[in-house]
Amino acid sequence: MLAPATEKQTVADYAALPEGAPYQLIDGALVMSPSPSSFHQLALGELHAALLRFVQQHDLGTVLIAPLDVFLTEHDAYQPDLLYVARERRDLIEEDGVHGAPDLVVEVLSPSTGYYDLTHKKRVYADAGVQEYWIVDPLERTVEVWRLGGDDVAPLAQARETGTVQSQLLDGFSVDLETLFADLH
């Protein structure tokens, strides 16, 4: 749902919202994000646990989960479902959120923001410097892994219902889809 506006909103406008307001700033528009579904949260929880374990075990950096603001441009402040910032780039993490591109971003699709996750946000993530982008669809039980990097946007892996997907960025990190979606009925 878009908030009516005659001109593009900015990060300053976004920062003036009350804490916890269910919005993201996407291309200058305030986009409302209702509470996620239980399937969304179950898949996100499983993926968060797996990524956090891997990153901590290998002392690679920081894993954060939504809601947390990621400030990318003057007109784009997102709340990705899950993100990873490499240890050597930890200075991007400030009290009010992440200022700059995380190394890896995961979006779990939902009806209210799925269109943006697949289109505009993917382009902005690539332009901002996100290296890897995971798109998880709990209803279709799919995971897509994309390599981002300016103009070099390419799919790395895709699986549906079974099989595994692997990260190119985090060598050795993979997710089994049957485990990821086990609790979704």
Model pLDDT for residues 20-70, shown as the tens digit of each residue: 888 999 999 999 888 899 999 999 999 999 999 999 999 999 999 999 999
Considering only CA atoms, which of 134, 166, 137 is closest in space to residue 148?
134
Neighbours of 59 (CB within 10 A): 7
Contact 143, 175 (CB under 8 A): yes
- pLDDT (tens digit, 9 = 90+) per residue, 24-34? 999 999 998 88
Cα of first residue to Cα of last residue in the chain, in angstroms, is 28
User: In sequence order, which ranges of 9-81 are alpha helices (DSSP H)?
Assistant: 11-15, 38-57
How far apart are alpha carbons 163 and 121 in whole angstroms? 27
Residue given tokens 């086990």 in the structure block: 182
Q: What is the pLDDT of residues 135-163, one digit of tens each?
A: 999 999 999 999 997 677 889 999 999 99
pTM tops 0.85: yes
Give the Cα separation of 161 and 163 in Å (integer).
7
- pLDDT surpasses 80 at 3: no
Residue 160, both tokens: 């549906």
Name the fold adopted by 36-180: tt1808, chain A (3.90.1570)
Please tell me the distance from the alpha carbon of residue 142 to that of residue 159, in angstroms, as a whole number: 6
CA separation for the pair 110, 112 (Å, rounded): 6
